[in-house]
């Protein structure tokens, strides 16, 4: 991460510091085509599309540390600041949310002119949405009563890629996304002054990124350290463990019980 000045909040006087740093990039690479064939009463369309999806997010929430001076030492926050005696320090580690996946679909459609008064639209679409692949395996899932073998210190039920039946895609791909389309356009009077139209179709939505990106900003991938009444502004970790900089591995995983799900979980 880019070095940053800490945030300093002095109640009733001033606030200094820098904003959290976020670098979120979403990329979609697409290629597709449609061919149309006209023959007699038929107007047939055949086509498809392939899309490569990427979400690349890196950032920090309180990575630089947040010092609070609230007057709890001298009863005057400004005096606490001059003495370098903060009421608290809140610091978290950076996060990585890096996902890749792909979608593709094919379709065939026929606009069939049954008569001068009746046209049918018949079609079928097939879609395949690959579950996202999480780079660096910053993801987990829950199965009651099962102990993780990848992260042995994890609470019971919390599993990680590499555990039996778990990979970074979390869910199997659904290969049954057939979506028919039927439409009708009818001129009951035959004079073009009245038209009746009806249609029916099944539609399939692709995956949201939420189940894959939110675990990356929670423990054990991100840790948080909250110190009440740290020794000083210049040496807040005096007499305390300083876990930063923190880089997650299964061996370095740490948990705070009860578990919480937030961007600053520790």
pLDDT in tens, the chain (266 residues): 566 788 999 999 999 887 777 778 889 999 999 999 999 999 999 999 999 999 888 887 667 889 999 999 999 999 999 999 999 999 988 888 889 999 999 999 999 999 989 999 999 999 999 999 998 899 999 999 999 999 999 999 999 999 999 988 988 999 999 999 999 999 999 888 899 999 999 999 888 888 888 888 888 999 989 999 999 999 999 998 999 888 899 999 999 887 765 544 43
* Domain presence at residue 248: no
| Residue 102: inside a domain | yes
Q: Give domain status of residue 114, yes or no.
A: yes
Domain count, the chain: 1
**Has residue 246 been placed in a domain?**
no
**In-domain check, residue 207:** yes
pLDDT at 216: 87
Partner residues linked to 113 by β-bridges: 119
Q: Is residue 91 part of a domain?
A: no
Is the residue at 264 inside a domain? no
CA pair distance 160, 148, nearest whole angstrom: 7
**Inter-residue contact 70 to 15 (CB < 8 Å):** no
The verdict on residue 206 lying in a domain is yes
pLDDT in tens, 57-79: 888 766 788 999 999 999 999 99
Could you give the CA distance from residue 266 to residue 259 in angstroms, rounded to a whole number?
Answer: 9
What's the pLDDT score for residue 263? Answer: 44
Per-residue confidence (pLDDT) for residue 60, from 0 to 100: 76
Q: Which long-range contacts (CB under 8 A, 24 or more apart) does 204-207 make?
A: 204/127, 204/129, 204/177, 204/179, 206/103, 206/127, 206/129, 207/101, 207/129, 207/131, 207/132
Domain that holds residue 158: 25-57+96-218
């Amino acid at each position: 991460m880019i070095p940053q000045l800490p945030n300093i909040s002095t109640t009733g006087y001033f606030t200094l510091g820098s904003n959290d740093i976020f670098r979120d990039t979403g990329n979609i690479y697409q290629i597709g085509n449609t061919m149309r064939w006209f023959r007699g009463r038929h107007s047939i369309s055949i086509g498809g599309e392939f899309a490569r999806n990427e979400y690349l997010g890196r950032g920090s929430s309180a990575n630089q540390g947040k010092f609070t001076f609230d007057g709890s030492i001298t009863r005057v926050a400004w005096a606490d600041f001059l003495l370098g005696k903060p009421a608290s320090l809140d610091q978290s580690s950076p996060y990585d949310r890096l996902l890749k996946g792909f979608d593709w679909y094919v379709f065939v459609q026929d606009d069939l002119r049954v008569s001068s008064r009746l046209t049918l639209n018949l079609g079928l679409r097939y879609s395949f949405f690959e579950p996202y692949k999480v780079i660096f395996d910053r993801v987990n899932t829950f199965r009651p009563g099962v102990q993780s073998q990848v992260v042995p210190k994890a609470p019971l039920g919390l599993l990680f890629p590499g555990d039996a039946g778990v990979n970074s895609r979390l869910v199997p791909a659904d290969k049954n996304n057939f979506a028919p389309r039927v439409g009708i356009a009818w001129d009951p009077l035959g004079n073009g002054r009245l038209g009746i139209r009806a249609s029916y179709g099944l539609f399939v939505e692709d995956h949201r990124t939420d189940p894959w990106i939110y675990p990356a900003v929670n423990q054990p991938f991100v840790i948080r350290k909250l110190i009440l009444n740290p020794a000083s502004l210049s040496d807040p970790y005096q007499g305390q463990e300083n876990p930063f900089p923190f880089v997650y591995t299964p061996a370095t995983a740490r948990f705070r019980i009860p578990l919480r799900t937030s961007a600053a979980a520790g």
